[in-house]
Structure 1
Amino acid sequence: MLNLFVKTENQKKWLQKLREKEDTFKNKSAEIDELAIFPKENIQDLVRMGYSSITLPAADGGEGLKVYDMVLFQETLASYDGTTALSIGWNLGVIGELFEKRLWNEENLNSFAKEILNGALVNRAVSEAQTGSPTRGGRPGTTAVKKDGGWVLTGRKTFTTMSPVLTYFLTSAWIEEKQKVGFFLLHKDLEGLTIEETWDVIAMRGTGSHDLVLNNVIVEDSKLVELPEMPSGGKINGWILHIPACYLGIAQAARDYAVHFANHHAPNSLNEPISQLPNVQQLVGEIDLELIRARHLIYSVAEAYDDETRRGFLENELGVVKHTVTNSAITIVDKAMRIVGAKSLQRTNPLQRYYRDVRAGLHNPPMDDMTIKKLALSAIEQDKSKFSKKE
């Protein structure tokens, strides 16, 4: 089904590169999940092939791939191993947004581009235990205090995905003297910066989303790279589509497993595989209905975002994609497990891992309730606007 969305030779090239790692990544997935091991070797393989810098613009020395490309590759990668895909996806998304919107001054961007091309990995460190998701607008408890021409940062960040291999942490902090939230680029080797291994969950167990602990970390003034006007949101950011793309890929893997099982499982009560049973065919059809619907939505929105003449018309679509695709992924895995039956609950069966992993998507931003509320408010305001114009 994915072939329908492959449009360029460059996409075919990168898909082939990823497919060369398919067996390697798939073979490690169970162990990564069972032992909660961060897939360091997988990430290193991706860095070596240049995948970690594909969203860096061509003008800055990168591949210059767009959101649509990223979605295509991330979905594919997630069908091999969801942990690896979600981890590297944050790096791709941060780089894509930084350079598309030129969020830093040119000197910092130029310097950082060279680091990325040399294999540096980055993620934002924004969530905190007391504030929850930063998209809800909570002020970070992490503080940055001016001292001797530099900054001293103190605080703790949660959900710092890919922390075992990150080179840089793009960290939010409250700056009292500016009464604003700023983002500081912190190198992993800074004194006072440590990772506390707190990640112990039942889904996406290998993402290494540990706590980042900052104990009087001193950085020079130039490392204050962002002072956004709206730290909890602002201009739309299509690069967050790496999130639903990941869960779509996991759903595809679940679908493929269930269909293969149905075609080869023939209990002695039947003279044929269970794929010939009407109730099984009903479930398979419903799964593909969900997949096709979700896939067309995410790729159409990604394509619209990449088209600068259409991007401005996107209002709520990014949130709708995340909501729709994530919930579709949960439905798909559930139906796949119904096809396979009790065997799907065996710890050796990948479906139980897919089932746990797709549920993690509910807790990635934007949250479902925020997407629904935003849709409602948009509808209400549009109606008010029409009414006021008539007056």
Structure 2
Amino acid sequence: MVTSVAKGRTPHSEPDYIARAEALAEGFAVRAAEHDRTASFPFENFRELSEAGLLSLTVPAAFGGAGAGARYAARVLGIVGKACASTALVLSMHYINHFVMARSPAWPVRLSRKLAHETVEGLALINALRVEPELGSPARGGLPATIARRTETGWRLSGHKIYSTGSPILKWYLVWARTDEAEPRVGQFLAPAGLPGTRIVETWDHHGLRASGSHDVIFDDVVIPLDAEIDVRKPQEWRAPDPVQATVHTIFVAAIYDGIARAARDWLVSFLKTRAPASLGAPLATLPRAQEILGGIEARLAVNARLIDSFASDFDDGLQLSAIESNIVKLTVTNNAVAAVEDALSPTSNHGLSRKNPLERHYRDVLCGRVHTPPGRHHENHCRAHCARYLANHHMEFPDVGRVHRLYR
């Protein structure tokens, strides 16, 4: 088991993976519009990612992967997100789960090694299936309706999951379920995709991230082995979020939405340089207002880059990062990304919202950041309550300036 954040990293190889991602991104960007239009899953993107060794980027070197840290993984996700946000979202979930399983004592070494080797050798993606029609997001509490019933030889899994990102290509599901015990426990059960009783219902018809394959997955008395129980606890023991998962989720998801905003910025620059209305007699880029808008976008993206890179570096260096800090970074980066794309729309008139141009797709995709866990309003209320408790406990003193500074350095 890899327990140290730094253990297994291969920093000298990491820039090579950045170059590989940049090379693949060109093709991803070309195909993105058609996948968005048809809501088709980009299988070819993942075949190319696998061939380039990028699916195993966050797999520990001890298990045959690249052992890259969060900083380089975020860079890869930003590059992929700029080209095809749906591909990046599926990839980020895969990266997050490999980060967690390599560092969590709850994961049996045999299973984490098995899944790692499968990822190194081929297409073997994993994601957690947590959200349900009645429950909503488990982040807000409540018992899942999905039930794991103990048998003499293992478990039988029954339930209905929604928003199962990457479902068309996943090889492994981490299913959030409760046991059928008198006092139910809650946690994750590892289930291979395609078992008898498992079916995918193609329900995903969304405003943004349309190619992410976030369909429903139904489990009808699916038989899984006894050791499929990965991390199952009493419900009250899940109140505190896992710090590793919270941090890498923040970093990776933030990198995707920042990548979308950078794609919008690039299109805007090209548009302003080439669009020359007859009434103006010069490109729009010559207008002070257009330059001001572009400057504001660049400022937001600069803040995002600093936050993502600094936060990821802190994690890679082994610093203890709280869930509150993680959520603040996610909220700030996402809000900046949404604002940047909205600003990019403002000088483009009808052109920016035309389906023949990618800016409207970037706008639809980036808006998904507002509902991605933790959603903005939920987190703002959480932060407000946290600050109120902090001030009450510290006799209205201001929080540690040094700690806040580290977030924005």
Seen in structure 2, the aligned counterparts of structure 1 residues 366 and 105 have a Cα distance that, compared at 3 Å, is: same
After alignment, is 220-229 or 45-54 more displaced? 220-229
Match of 2:147 among 134, 143, 147: 143
Matched residue SS, 1:53: coil
CA contact (8 A) 1:94 1:239 kept: no
Q: For residue 63 of structure 2, what is the aligned residue in structure 1? A: 60
CA contact (8 A) 1:136 1:232 kept: no
Q: For residue 319 of structure 1, what is the aligned residue in structure 2? A: 327
Structure 1: how far apart are the matches of 2:172 and 2:257?
25
CA contact (8 A) 2:159 2:218 kept: yes
* Residue 298 (structure 1) aligned with residue 305 (structure 2): no
Structure 1: how far apart are the matches of 2:66 and 2:340?
33
Q: CA deviation at 1:313?
A: 4.6
* Residue 380 (structure 1) aligned with residue 388 (structure 2): yes
Q: For residue 188 of structure 1, what is the aligned residue in structure 2? A: 193
Structure 2 matches for 1:151-162, cutoff 5 A?
A: 151-162=155-166
Which amino acid in the other structure matches residue 117 of structure 1?
V
* Residue 242 (structure 1) aligned with residue 249 (structure 2): no
Q: CA deviation at 1:361?
A: 1.2
CA contact (8 A) 1:301 1:317 kept: no
Deviations 1:73-114 (A, max 9, x none): 100111111111111111111111111224312222222222
Q: CA deviation at 1:61?
A: 2.1
After alignment, is 85-94 or 235-244 more displaced? 235-244
* Residue 98 (structure 1) aligned with residue 101 (structure 2): yes
Deviations 1:6-33 (A, max 9, x none): xx65332112111221321111011000
Structure 2: how far apart are the matches of 1:254 and 1:286?
13
Matched residue SS, 2:199: strand
Q: For residue 5 of structure 1, what is the aligned residue in structure 2? A: none
Structure 1: how far apart are the matches of 2:242 and 2:197?
33
* Residue 15 (structure 1) aligned with residue 18 (structure 2): yes
Seen in structure 2, the aligned counterparts of structure 1 residues 157 and 193 have a Cα distance that, compared at 3 Å, is: same
CA contact (8 A) 2:241 2:323 kept: no
Matched residue SS, 2:348: helix
Q: CA deviation at 1:133?
A: 1.1
Q: CA deviation at 1:150?
A: 1.4
Structure 2: how far apart are the matches of 1:134 and 1:30?
32
Q: CA deviation at 1:316?
A: 1.5
Deviations 1:279-322 (A, max 9, x none): 111111111111111221121111112221x2x25342211111
CA contact (8 A) 1:171 1:183 kept: yes
CA contact (8 A) 1:56 1:65 kept: yes
Structure 1: how far apart are the matches of 2:261 and 2:40?
22
* Residue 165 (structure 1) aligned with residue 169 (structure 2): yes
* Residue 339 (structure 1) aligned with residue 347 (structure 2): yes
CA contact (8 A) 2:177 2:187 kept: yes
Q: For residue 4 of structure 1, what is the aligned residue in structure 2? A: none
CA contact (8 A) 1:251 1:333 kept: yes
Seen in structure 2, the aligned counterparts of structure 1 residues 9 and 60 have a Cα distance that, compared at 3 Å, is: closer
Which amino acid in the other structure matches residue 29 of structure 1?
A
Q: CA deviation at 1:242?
A: 1.2
Which ranges in structure 1 are unaligned for 5 or more consecutive residues?
1-7
Which amino acid in the other structure matches residue 329 of structure 2?
V
Deviations 1:208-264 (A, max 9, x none): 000010001011111111114644642312220211111100100000100111111
Match of 1:197 among 188, 197, 202: 202
Q: For residue 34 of structure 2, what is the aligned residue in structure 1? A: 31
Deviations 1:110-156 (A, max 9, x none): 22222222221100000001111111112111001112231111110
Matched residue SS, 2:265: helix
TM (norm. structure 1) is 0.93
Structure 2 matches for 1:279-290, cutoff 5 A?
A: 279-290=289-300
Using the aligned pairs only, state the percent identity.
31
After alignment, is 232-241 or 91-100 more displaced? 232-241
Structure 2: how far apart are the matches of 1:296 and 1:388?
30
CA contact (8 A) 1:146 1:152 kept: yes
CA contact (8 A) 1:102 1:109 kept: no
CA contact (8 A) 1:183 1:225 kept: yes
TM (norm. structure 2) is 0.89
Which ranges in structure 2 are unaligned for 5 or more consecutive residues?
1-10, 398-409
Structure 1: how far apart are the matches of 2:147 and 2:25?
43
Matched residue SS, 1:145: strand
Match of 2:92 among 89, 93, 106: 89
Q: For residue 368 of structure 1, what is the aligned residue in structure 2? A: 376
CA contact (8 A) 2:160 2:218 kept: yes
Matched residue SS, 2:13: helix
Matched residue SS, 2:190: strand
Q: CA deviation at 1:272?
A: 1.8
After alignment, is 342-351 or 362-371 more displaced? 362-371
CA contact (8 A) 1:172 1:182 kept: yes
Structure 1: how far apart are the matches of 2:215 and 2:159?
14
